Structure 1
């Protein structure tokens, strides 16, 4: 499945938007959902690494999927192609780390004028 297909299929669970207030509430809901689900995924990893808990990869996949869903929804609600987001991120990373990631490159990276982070 590609990003465009995912974004289109995931729209089926989005609320109906009838006006500006609905759009604002949907954007608010998806932003909070992204925050919540990414926090849940992060908490699972924290408990695994810092507290010695076993990690359930199946549950981590579900949480990562929820993060993906909410991010896709935010993109849809702002008229952004999910694929364009992925492509722009790869370009940014290639510009930032043209020879791949290294600690030195991370500490001494050059920012590019078209970077939006």
Structure 2
């Protein structure tokens, strides 16, 4: 059985130590200096989705009251972080939304279909 020290040493064999140099990432064919905003957006989005999920969990499993105002405010926070990521990447949020609707129309031309959802075409993301 591995000790925690042995685990850590063996796990770090797959860490090439290049994380700092990778903080400048290539987005949409251009280098961005806004990596801090991308990171903040992704981490913030994760946190806000967690808060929203916690409200749903407590409503269902703890039988607590659903605070509609809090729920909507968390949805607003999620939107804010998505807008921040789009800003950092020089993406137009409206264009992203249109791309999503087009993808859904192509995937489900007649509306949602369980069979199509479970058997998507290769490359359908």
Q: Same fold (TM over 0.5)?
A: yes
**Structure 1: which 5+ residue stretches go unaligned?**
1-18
Match of 1:94 in 2: 105
Provide closer, same or farther for how the CA distance between residues 58 and 110 of structure 1 changes in structure 2, counting only shifts above 3 A: same
Give the TM-score taking structure 2 as reference length. Answer: 0.68
Taking only aligned residues, the RMSD between alpha carbons, in angstroms, comes to 1.8
**Cα deviations across residues 32-52 of structure 1 (Å, max 9, x unaligned)?**
111111111111112112222
**Structure 2: which 5+ residue stretches go unaligned?**
1-31
For 1:48 and 1:104, the matched residues in 2 are separated by 30
Task: Return the structure number with greater relative CO, CA threshold 8 A, min gap 6.
Answer: 1
Match of 1:11 in 2: none
**Cα deviations across residues 59-85 of structure 1 (Å, max 9, x unaligned)?**
000000000000011001000000011
1:110 equivalent to 2:110? Answer no
Matched residue pairs, number?
94
2:56 corresponds, among 42, 45, 50, to 45
Between structure 1 and structure 2, the one with the greater Rg is 2
Q: Which has the higher helix share?
A: 1
3-state SS of 2:85 partner: helix
Match of 1:76 in 2: 87
CA contact (8 A) 1:37 1:67 kept: yes
For 1:76 and 1:109, the matched residues in 2 are separated by 31
